Structure formats: C-alpha cells, structure tokens
Copies of this chain bind each other. A is one copy, B any other.
C-alpha cells in the first residue's frame, strides 16, 4: 500500500492525501511533525535526503518526494490531468507557479503567524506584498471561470487550494478576492476535505 509521510498542518501534505482519496487510492498515513524536526532525523533523511514532507513510499517500495511530483504520479491517467496538451501545459504552469510564487508567501505567512506566533503586522512586507499579488493574479485568472484550467477539477486546483483556503491564517482576507473565494468553496466541495480552514 502507498505510505504517505506527512504533517497534517502542511498544505503540501494534504494535497497528496486529497488526491489519493479523490482517486480511491488506499494509503497509510505516517505523521511527521515538522515543528519537532522529525523530517530531519537520520531515519527520515534516509527516505528523503531533502528532509521535506510530503514523502511517499510507493507500493513497490520506491520513494518519491515533492508534493506536486507525487500528485502527478498518483493521478497519471486520471481526469485530474487534462488530456489536451495545451490544457496540460497550463496545469503545469500553475503547479510551478504555485511552488515559486504562491507557497513561499501564502504558506510561509501562515506558518509564521499560526505556528511561530508572529503578529500579522510584523510579517516581512515582501511576504505580504507578494502574497497579495499571488491572490490578485489568481483572482483575475478565475474571473468567469469555474476552475483554473479547462472546465473541471485538475491538479492545478488541488495544488492551489491547499494553502489558499488557509490564507486567512497568514492575514490575507479572501473576501478581497471574490473569484478566488468562490473558487475555493467550489474546489472544497469537490474534494474529501475534512481539515478545518
């Protein structure tokens, strides 16, 4: 069976959980508490030298890391990956954009505020500005659309909703981005999300 090593406070880890559940892929979840440096133990580093969660051990015993690489692997051949080459490319564009231009601001702000206790007003201005820019870009892209790519749920939505739905934890008001807010509720309704916002 698939084993997911993850921390339930991490949106990156939840992406993998939701994708597996959506696709009815059985899995075992193994908690790795990143706030206690459990992803930096010799045992964990033997599994993933980058010391990052999520990391999965596939049915054949081989390991795979990087949330978006894992969900791409799990979803191969499913309708979460568009069949059309251009739509697939746009999905990849969102997946890479998420890791470079969204997660480092939206997820980092949340982590610093919710788990390190930093007041929102003391966040680095660069993090706040770029987080807002990321949400504004999504808001424009989602204007008049139900999903980020094509007409149905893809991995782009799963990857982006993970931290977007928790953006308020880092001081970002989703109500300022009405298309993003509506899309968030739409994507949540499609996924087996039991985690609180």
Q: Look across to chain B and name the residue whose beta carbon is closest to the beta carbon of A138.
A: B49
| Known contacts A100-B100, A104-B104, A69 near B49 by CB under 8 Å | no
A29 within 8 A of B: no
A76 within 8 A of B: yes
14 contacts between A and B (CB under 8 A): A58-B86, A64-B89, A64-B90, A64-B93, A66-B100, A69-B90, A69-B92, A69-B95, A70-B89, A72-B89, A72-B92, A95-B96, A96-B99, A100-B103
Closest beta carbon of chain B to A72's beta carbon, Å:
5
In the complex the two chains form, is B93's CB within 8 Å of A65's CB?
yes
A126 to B163 Cα, complex, angstroms? 24
Which B residues touch A36, using CB under 8 A?
Answer: none
A194 within 8 A of B: no
A100 to B73 Cα, complex, angstroms? 19
Closest beta carbon of chain B to A51's beta carbon, Å:
9
A115 within 8 A of B: no
A137 to B50 Cα, complex, angstroms? 7
Q: How many copies does the complex hold?
A: 2
Which B residues touch A85, using CB under 8 A?
Answer: 73, 76
Which B residues touch A93, using CB under 8 A?
Answer: 64-66, 69
A19 within 8 A of B: no
Chain A residue total in the interface (Cβ 8 A): 34
Give the one of A65, A103, A137 with max B CB within 10 A. A65
A154 within 8 A of B: no
In the complex the two chains form, is A50's CB within 8 Å of B101's CB?
yes
Contact with B along A146-172 (1 / 0, CB 8 A): 000000000000000000000000000
| Known contacts A50-B137, A97-B50, A137-B49, A92 near B73 by CB under 8 Å | yes
Q: Look across to chain B and name the residue whose beta carbon is closest to the beta carbon of A74.
A: B89
Contact with B along A55-68 (1 / 0, CB 8 A): 00010101011111
